[in-house]
């Protein structure tokens, strides 16, 4: 009698006590594509299928890109009579399930978007008050990734709101990567590890090197303002929980060199690599940058340490990232628009990362140097490294102990 009375209580307690984000997802930074930067709410079934095809045909899937994420605008403006979310019938005339099945059939995973508020940022139905129902719906459709935004959330506690959705996802029993998107407003790096697998660290990115565009209460930021704003929260990021520097703007209008810098820095910062361009019309140069295996390997390094700015030599900024097995990655970025010459004596520049305790002491140990974008060996740290770096371009290196 007693057991019968208490059993449901115990079940409920254990569910709450053990609710956690899906374990073992995102042990390295997630890689994929998201519709927002290029398409906004102008998305549909055909686009998703063509993008999925492009993942395969352009070698992006084989390079490691896995998640195809549909952002805001996929739903009808109203829930149905049972309060279920409904895909927009014009954009998705066959529903969302066949689209997800198609994405899965290409060997990819599918991500979807919603918001912790009552409405999404583009004014579609949000999940506030419907978290468990929506999570279950996503799981039934076969969703693998949820990006969860922060519009229309007045009086909501951020940590609590993300915890509710985390628990709702956990209750479905399906592994779903949880991408927290509250723009860094409530220091998500301080509580995000428990709640999700990645968290946005700023407002929205825009496709420029160094600009800020105001929108009243918030600003879109170019590549460098984002990096500079959040370079100091590196200790919060690591396997299973990443600082998300936002979807990339590679291929969206900056120069090829600036795109290389942007990509190199997202790899150095161990940010999720979520492409934001139209893959169907991407140039060969853009795809070459996005699929460079040696550069991606820096991002996917299993230690997952976010790079730090080691020094600047005039206009050349030197970023360092300790890698597994005693290796290091360096990105030497030319911040000026003119060509610069680097003359770097490794013996005279000991490199020490206080966060990881790792040191590169070239006077004690020799490292082989590899130029990652040009797939070239550059000798060793025993001699001075001399190189010319074009304006707004990068020399990205991997150093391996001999």
Q: Cβ of residue 355: shortest distance to ligand GLA, in angstroms?
A: 28
Residue with Cβ nearer ligand GLA (116 or 329): 116
Neighbours of 401 (CB within 10 A): 13
Structural contact between residues 177 and 145, judged by C-beta atoms closer than 8 angstroms: yes
Residue with Cβ nearer ligand GLA (115 or 320): 115
Q: Among the residues of 78-150, which ranges form H helices?
A: 97-105, 131-141
Q: Cβ of residue 241: shortest distance to ligand GLA, in angstroms?
A: 19
Structural contact between residues 48 and 54, judged by C-beta atoms closer than 8 angstroms: no
- Told to judge if 24 belongs to the known catalytic residues of this protein, a careful annotator would answer no
Exactly one of 72, 88, 134, 149 is catalytic; which is it? 149
Both tokens of 14, joined, read 């254990």
Report which residue's Cβ sits closest to ligand GLA: 121
Q: Cβ of residue 121: shortest distance to ligand GLA, in angstroms?
A: 3
Residue with Cβ nearer ligand GLA (260 or 262): 262
Q: Residue 50: CB partners within 8 Å, gap ≥ 6? A: 280
Residue with Cβ nearer ligand GLA (225 or 322): 225
Q: Cβ of residue 49: shortest distance to ligand GLA, in angstroms?
A: 21
Exactly one of 167, 204, 246, 353 is catalytic; which is it? 204
Q: Cβ of residue 243: shortest distance to ligand GLA, in angstroms?
A: 15
Neighbours of 336 (CB within 10 A): 13
Q: Which spans of this chain sit near ligand GLA (rule: CB under 6 A)?
A: 36, 71-72, 120-122, 149, 181, 204
Residue with Cβ nearer ligand GLA (71 or 167): 71
**Biggest CA-to-CA distance, the chain:** 82
The 3 state secondary structure assigned to 298-333 is HHCCCCCCCCEEEEEECCEEEEEEECHHHCEEEEEE
Give the CA distances from residue 27 to residues 100, 270, 305, in Å, rounded to whole numbers and listed in that order: 24, 11, 12
- Told to judge if 312 belongs to the known catalytic residues of this protein, a careful annotator would answer no
**Which residues are annotated as catalytic?**
149, 204
């Amino acid at each position: 009698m007693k057991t019968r009375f208490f059993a449901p209580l115990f079940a409920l307690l254990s569910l709450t006590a053990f609710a956690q984000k899906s374990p073992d997802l995102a042990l390295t930074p997630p890689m994929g594509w998201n519709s927002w930067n290029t398409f906004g709410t102008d998305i549909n079934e055909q686009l998703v299928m063509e993008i999925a095809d492009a993942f395969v045909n352009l070698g992006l899937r084989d390079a490691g890109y896995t998640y195809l994420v549909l952002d805001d605008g996929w739903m009808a403006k109203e829930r149905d009579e049972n309060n279920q979310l409904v895909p927009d019938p014009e954009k998705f005339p066959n529903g969302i399930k066949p689209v997800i099945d198609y994405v899965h059939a290409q060997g990819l995973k599918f991500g979807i978007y919603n918001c912790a508020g009552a409405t999404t940022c583009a004014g579609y139905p949000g999940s506030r008050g419907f978290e468990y129902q929506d999570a279950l719906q996503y799981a039934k459709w076969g969703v693998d990734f949820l990006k969860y935004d922060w519009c229309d959330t007045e009086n909501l506690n951020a940590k609590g709101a993300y915890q509710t959705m985390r628990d709702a996802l956990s209750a479905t029993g399906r592994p779903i990567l949880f991408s927290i998107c509250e723009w860094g407003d409530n220091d998500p790096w301080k509580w995000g590890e428990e709640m999700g697998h990645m968290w946005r660290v700023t407002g929205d990115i825009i496709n420029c090197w160094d600009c800020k565009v105001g929108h009243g209460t918030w600003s879109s930021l170019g590549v460098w303002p984002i990096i500079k704003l959040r370079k100091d929260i590196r200790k919060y990021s690591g396997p299973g929980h990443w600082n998300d520097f936002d979807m990339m703007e590679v291929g969206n209008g900056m120069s090829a060199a600036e795109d290389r810098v942007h990509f190199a820095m997202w790899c150095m910062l161990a940010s999720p690599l979520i492409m934001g361009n139209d893959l169907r019309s991407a140039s060969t140069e853009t795809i070459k940058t996005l699929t460079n295996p040696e550069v991606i390997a820096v991002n996917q390094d299993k230690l997952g340490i976010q790079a730090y700015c080691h020094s600047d030599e005039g206009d050349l900024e030197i970023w360092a990232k300790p890698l597994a097995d005693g290796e290091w990655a360096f990105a030497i970025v030319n911040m000026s628009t003119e060509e610069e010459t680097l003359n770097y004596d490794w013996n005279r520049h000991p490199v020490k990362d206080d966060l990881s305790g790792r040191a590169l002491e070239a006077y004690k140990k020799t490292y082989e140097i590899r130029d990652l974008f040009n797939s070239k060996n550059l000798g060793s740290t025993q001699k001075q490294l001399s190189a010319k770096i074009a304006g707004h371009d990068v020399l990205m290196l991997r150093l391996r102990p001999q």
